[in-house]
Structure 1
Amino acid sequence: MLETKSVKDLWAAKTAASIMERTPKLYEENGHHGKWSYDYGVVLKGFERLWQATGDEQYAQYIQYNMDYFVQDDGSVRGYRMEEHNIDHLNNGKLMFGLYDRTGKVKYKLAADLLREQLVTHPRTSEGAFWHKQVYPYQIWLDGLYMGAPFYLEYLIRWEPEEELLNDVTKQFILCAKHTRDDATGLLYHAWDEKRVQPWSHSVTGQSPNFWGRSIGWFVMALVDVLELLPNHHPDYRKLVDIFTDTMAALRTYQDTTSGVWHQVVNEGDRKGNYLEASASSMIVYALAKGIRLGWLPREWEPVLNHAYAGLISEFVMETNQGWVNLYKNCQVAGLGGDTRRDGSYAYYISEPIKTNDQKGLGAFLLACTEYEYLMHAKA
C-alpha cells in the first residue's frame, strides 16, 4: 500500500483533490441533478483504486457520498429504468461491492441485485452477446464490454459462482473480438451490426468503418479488470489474455512516436483534423500498467508505458496556480446512432466536441495515474 504522504504530490492525488474541490457532487451540473450515468462510475472507480492504494478514507467517503444520492434504502436506484436495457447503466454497479464491504449496508447489495437482474432479460445477438442497448438492436459496441462485463463477473464470483455463468462473461469478449477485429491492423472497429442494416455497418462484415480510440480504450480496460477477477484456471482465461496482448500489440504499432500517446482515430495519425486524445490515451496507459503489474505483458513493455505516461502529462495536463489539475483534449462523446450524423465516418469522429475535464477522461486519467504510480512504487 502506498503511504498517503508519498502520493500527495503525485498526479493521482492531485487529480482526485481537484475533482473533489471542483465537483463535490459529481451528479450536479449547472445547478441541475444529473441522471444515473456511467460517467460517474468511471471517475469513482479511479477514487476506489486510489483508496485501495493509499487507505485514505476521504476517497471512500467521496464514493459513498455520490452514490448515496442514487441508491435508496430499499436498494432502488434513482433514475434507473431496467426496461431500457442499456448496458451503460450497469457501470456504476461496480461500486456497490466496495460500498457493501466497507459499510455492511444491505442497500448496496440490493442495488447490485437489481442491476444484475437486467442481464437476465437483456437482449442478445444470436450467439449470446449482449446488445449495447435496446434501442440499438443486434449491435455490439466495444464500449459495452467495460460497462457490463466487470460488474457481471464480480457479481457472479461473489454470489452466483457457477462456472457456466462465468463462461457467459468470457464469451462476451470472445464474440466481440471475433466480430470487430481487423486482421490487417489487429485493431478493433468501434461496433458490429449482426443484421448489417445500420447505415454505418459494412454490408459483408457488419463492422463500423473506423477505429475510435476511446472505444478500444474501453475494451482493454474491461479486459484487464475482468482478467484480474477471473480464476486463472478458467478455460477461457488464456483466450482473454491472448486477446489482450494482441490488442495491445496493435495499439503499440500506432502509438505516436513523438508524444507517446494515441490519436482520436487510432490509425490515422497523419490525416488532417485528427488529434491526440486524452481519454483514450489514459485508458490505454491504465491497461498497459495493469497488464505489466499483473504479468500479462512482460517487463519489456515498460519503456512503452513510460513514454505513454510521460505523454499523458505533457500533452494533456495543465496545473493551475491553485494546484488544480485540468485535463485537455477529451472527446466529449461519440456514438453510432440517434441521428444520421453519427455515421462512424472519419469526419464524424474528428468533428465531435472536444472538452476539458470531461468526467470520462478525468476518471480514466485518475485510474492511469494510480495504476502507474502504484506499479512504480512496487518496483522501488
Structure 2
Amino acid sequence: MKTTKYIALFTLALGLSATSCKDAKKENTQEEPTATVEKVVPENLKWSERMMLSEIHRFPEATKLDFATRARWTYTPGLVLSACARVYEATDKQEYYDYIYDYADTLIDSTGTIDTYSLEKQNLDMIKSGDVLLFLYPITKEERFLKAMQTLDSQLESQPTTSDGGYWHKKIYPYQMWLDGLYMAEPFHTKYANDYIQDETKKEEIYNHVVLQFDLIQKHSRDEASGLLYHGWDESKEQKWANKETGNSQHFWSRGMGWYGMAMVDVLDFLPENHPGREKIIKYLNQYAEAVTKVQDESGLWWQVLDQGDREGNYLEATGTSMFTYTFAKGVNKGYLPEKYLEVANKAYNGLLENLVTVEENGVVNLNQCCAVAGLGGNPYRDGSFEYYIGEKIRANDPKGTGPFIMASLELNK
C-alpha cells in the first residue's frame, strides 16, 4: 500500500516537473528574439533596381552572367548590361557603371581584340554586346573600345546574306533569317552608323540595309492570317524544320516574337526622323501589337508557343512575356503605339508579379518559368516542333528574361 502511494506521489511530482519545464521552455521561446535575415536587396527600391541588384548578387562578375563558368563575349551579358546602363542613367549609382565596365575591361585587351569572339563565325548573336561599348566609349574615350566596335561593324559589312539581302543568322546556318537576329544586330548597327560613320552616303546605306532586314522578315516570316511571325525562314528550304513551300519553321515562338518587338522599338531610337523606313517599322510594330495582344492569356502572360495555349504541355513563359511588356510600354511611351497598349503592358507586368516573380527572405528577386534556350537545326538537331519548344529546359532567372524585365520596369516606372 505504501509502495503504491509513493509511486503515485512520484508520478505526480514527475508530471508537475515536466509541466513546469514545458512552461519554462515556452516562456524562454517567447523571450528569444526572432532571427532576422539581412536584406541583400532592399525592398523599398523600384523593381528595376531590385532585379538588377539581384543579378549582381547572383553573378558578381558580369562576364559570368547566364550561369557561365568562364568569361565569354556573347549576347546575354550584353542584354542585361544594356538594361543595367538604363538603371545607371536613372539612378547615377556607381556600382551599376562599374559592373558594366568590368565586362568590357575583362574581355577587351589594349589592342581592341575581343576575347572569345570570332569574326569568321559571322554570328549575329555576338553583335549584341556591342551595345555595352556604345555606352562606355563616349564616357571613357578608351581607344580599345572604339576598335572593338569597328570590328563588330566590319562583321556586319561582311555578313553573308540571302539572295534578297537578309543577314544569315550565323555562318553555320546558311540562307536562314531568324527573328532573334534583328534584335542582336540592328539596334547596334543603327546607333553605330548614327554616331561613328562620317560619310553621309555610307550612313544612308546602313540605315537602308537595317530597314531592309525588317522588310524581309515581314515579307518571308509573317503569317497573314494571324499576323504572328514564324521563328525562322530558310530561303533554301533544305532544313528539316522548314516548310517545303514557304521555307518557314512550324511555330510562333514567344521569345522569337519578343526579340523582334524589342528590335523595332529600339531601332526607332536611332533611325533618323526623316528616314522613310521609320514609318514602315512603326506600321509593322502596330500590326505586331495587334496580333500579339490577341494571344495574350487572361493572366496577362503569354504562352511558350503563342497560339496554342490550350495544348497539353504548353506553359506561360517569362522571357517572352517580359519582352512583350517592354515592347508595348516603350512603344506607347515613344508615341509609336496607341495608348490602349499601355493597359496590355500593365496587365502583363502584373501577371509577372503575381505568377512568376518571387522574392527570397534576403530580398533577392527571382523570375521563374523561363525557357532556357531554343533554336533551329544544329547538333543535336532542333526540329522546331511543338514538342521541341515545350521540351527545352525551363529555369529561373534566365538573363533573356531578367534583362527585359528590368527594361519593362523602367518603362512602366514600377
TM, length-normalised to structure 1: 0.94
CA distance in 2, matches of 1:104, 1:210: 45
| Residues 1:198 and 2:239 aligned together | yes
C-alpha contact 2:295 2:306 (8 A) present in aligned 1: yes
Report whether the alignment pairs 1:307 with 2:347: yes
Separation of aligned partners in 1, 2:187 and 2:281: 13
1:208 aligns with 2:244: no
Q: Which deviates further from its counterpart, 101-110 or 85-94?
A: 101-110
> Percent identity, aligned pairs only?
41
In structure 2, stretches of 5+ residues that fail to align are 1-41
Q: Does 1:56 align with 2:93?
A: yes
Partner of residue 91 from structure 1, selected from 128, 133, 154: 128
- Partner in structure 2 of residue 110 of structure 1: 147
Alignment partners' CA distance in 1, 2:261 and 2:141: 32
Secondary structure of 1:326's aligned partner: strand
Aligned pair 1:25/2:61, yes or no? yes
Stretch of structure 1 that moved more, 79-88 or 52-61: 52-61
| Aligned 8 A contact 1:7 1:13 in 2 | no
Distance 2:44 2:359 in 1: 15
Give yes or no for the alignment of 1:15 onto 2:51.
yes
Matched, 1:151 2:188: yes
Match of 1:250 among 270, 275, 291: 291
**Compared CA separation, residues 20 and 177, structure 1 to 2 (3 A):** same
SS of residue matched to 2:346: helix
Which one has the largest radius of gyration? 2
Q: Quick one: which of 369, 374, 383 aligns to 1:329?
A: 369
Q: Which deviates further from its counterpart, 45-54 or 242-251? A: 45-54
1:31/1:358 Cα in 2 relative to 1: closer, same or farther (>3 Å)? closer
Deviation at residue 237 of structure 1 after TM alignment: 0.8
Q: CA RMSD in A?
A: 1.6
Return the alpha-carbon distance in structure 1 between the equivalents of residues 84 and 111 of structure 2: 25
> Is the contact made by 1:341 and 1:348 (CA closer than 8 Å) also made in structure 2?
no
Partners of 2:346 and 2:192 in 1: CA distance:
34
Distance of 2:58 and 2:69 partners within structure 1: 15
Q: CA deviation at 1:31?
A: 8.4
Q: Residue 195 of structure 1: SS of its match in structure 2?
A: coil
Kindly state the Cα deviation for residue 18 of structure 1 after the two structures are TM-superposed.
0.9
**5+ long unaligned stretches in structure 1:** 1-5
Do structure 1's residue 364 and structure 2's residue 404 form an aligned pair? yes
Paired residue secondary structure (1:33): coil
Question: 1:285 touches 1:309 (CA, 8 Å); kept in 2?
Answer: yes
Q: Which SS does the other structure have where 1:349 is aligned?
A: helix
Alpha-carbon distance in 1 for matches of 2:91, 2:380? 47
1:45 to 2:82 alignment: yes
* C-alpha spacing 1:195/1:302, structure 2 compared with 1 (3 Å): same
Residue 102 (structure 2) pairs with residue 65 (structure 1)? yes
The answer to whether the Cα contact below 8 Å between 1:138 and 1:193 also exists between their aligned partners in 2 is yes
Letter in 2 for 1:232: E
Secondary structure at the counterpart of residue 167 of structure 1: helix
Match of residue 220 from structure 1? 261
Q: Offset of 1:339 from its aligned partner?
A: 3.1
CA distance in 2, matches of 1:243, 1:31: 36
TM-score (norm 2): 0.86
Find the partner of 1:141 among 178, 182, 187. Answer: 178
Deviations 1:300-343 (A, max 9, x none): 22221211110111121100000000110010000101136410
